[in-house]
Amino acid sequence: MGYAKIAVNGYGTVGRRVGTAVNAQYDMEIVGVVKTRPTFEAMTAIDKGFDLYVPDSDMIGAFEKAGIEVAGTLDDLLDKVEIVVDCTPNKVGASYKSLYVEKGVKAIWQGGEAHELAEFSFNAEANYDDAIDRNLARVVSCNTTGLTRALYPLEQEYGVEKARATLIRRAADPGQSNKGPINAIVPALEMPSHHGPDVNTIMPNIEIATTAVKVPSTLMHLHGLTVALKNDFEPEDIVDLYEGRPRIYLVSGGDGVSDTAKIMELSKELGRSRNDMFENAIWKDSISKYQGELYLFQAIHQESDIVPENVDAIRAMCGLESDGAKSIAMTNKKMGIGK
């Protein structure tokens, strides 16, 4: 059995979470995380035992002034690892590709980068096998991950004739206080939205149309799905199908979980790190059949649903486990996913 040494480039919303999730596993470990500024995230990274690196030695001074120890540069760090998880801001990640390749480290990017950068887009349930021993991969965005987790089981069991989704997107993450809107609904005027084609990077044969709207909330994305299936179904069958899936969490308005804020409250009671909801939260009582089609609502925790996917991508790419289902089960167990 192998063991992977890992760098995280970018210790922000996603990087912090990947750090925690990786170190909870028994077959991989964080060697260091890369941060550009000496903020509270940097300080608490040290408290958590992560060695801090900077992209450029010019930045070391600012960290020293803040009393934060720096272990070296990204370049130094890449010499010590087998794989880097790039969690830098959207479109910044691409600029590091040549460095990663030159250094001979495997690399995982997030969904803010284009499919073409890695030429392979990953979702653990849908294409784990294709990731084994790869050098480059992109874990798809939070929204695409959420759509894939909902649609892939339907495609497997019933066949998807056509999927439609409306994405009501939270406009900013909880800590992004500079971003609005405060009081507006903002449609993505180009129709359909880019999310449908992004699902096709994982499931190329599915017919899907998506539209998107941005709203003044910070907590979760909400997806309204309408799916025409090739085979007949009853709503109870779909509930059963999802209950058997590893990264679906069924919630119910009847239990008081009536909105995205209530899901975040539920998450506080589940005791995961940072109160994250790593699964798709699908409303059991929204699953219905109308005019022959499947309707449902799900909520996606934009900051965390891609985190277990990153762990699985590492395991596949580094050849630590050849069975996707086993990797998913291991990842879940160590992250507290599944009852």
197 binds its own copies (CB under 8 A): no
Q: In 188-322, which ranges are continuous DSSP H helix? A: 195-200, 235-243, 260-270, 307-317
| Contact between 90 and its own copies per CB under 8 A | no
Q: Is 48 in the site for its own copies (CB under 8 A)?
A: yes
Q: How far is the CB of 14 from its own copies (least distance, A)?
A: 13
Q: Given 30, 142, 167, 287, which residue is catalytic?
A: 142
Q: Does 85 bind its own copies (CB under 8 A)?
A: no
CA atoms within 13 A on the CB side of 107: 24
Give the interface segment with its own copies, choosing from 42-50, 95-103, 114-122, 149-157 (CB under 8 A): 42-50
User: Interface with its own copies includes 191 (CB under 8 A)?
Assistant: yes
Among 6, 31, 83, 171, binds its own copies (CB under 8 A): 171
Subset of residues 54 to 83 that bind its own copies, contact rule: CB under 8 A: 66
Q: Are 11 and 34 in contact (CB under 8 A)?
A: yes
At closest approach, how far in Å is the CB of 198 from its own copies?
15
Q: Is 211 in the site for its own copies (CB under 8 A)?
A: yes
Q: Whole-number minimum distance, CB 155 to its own copies, in Å?
A: 18
For the chain, the C-alpha Rg in angstroms (whole number) is 20
Which listed residue (207, 234, 240, 243) binds its own copies by CB under 8 A? 207
- Least distance to its own copies from the beta carbon of 280, Å? 14
Between residues 103 and 262, which has the closer beta carbon with respect to its own copies? 262
Are the C-beta atoms of 96 and 113 separated by less than 8 Å? no
Judged by CB under 8 A, the residue of 24, 59, 295, 336 near its own copies is 295
Please list, in sequence order, all residues whose beta carbon lies within 8 angstroms of the beta carbon of residue 274, skipping any fewer than 6 positions away: 16, 17, 20, 303, 304
CB of 288 to its own copies, least distance (A): 4
92, 81 Cβ separation under 8 angstroms: no
215 binds its own copies (CB under 8 A): yes
Residue 271 DSSP SS3? coil
Interface of this chain with its own copies, residues 244 to 283, rule: CB under 8 A = 251, 253, 255-262, 264-266, 268-271, 273-275, 283
Active site residue 142: yes
String of DSSP letters for 33-65: EE-SS-SHHHHHHHHTTPPEEESSGGGHHHHHH
- What's phi and psi for 82, nearest 5 deg? -95, -30
Rule CB under 8 A: say whether 205 interacts with its own copies.
no
Tokens (6 digits) for 314: 């590492």
d(CA 91, CA 54): 19
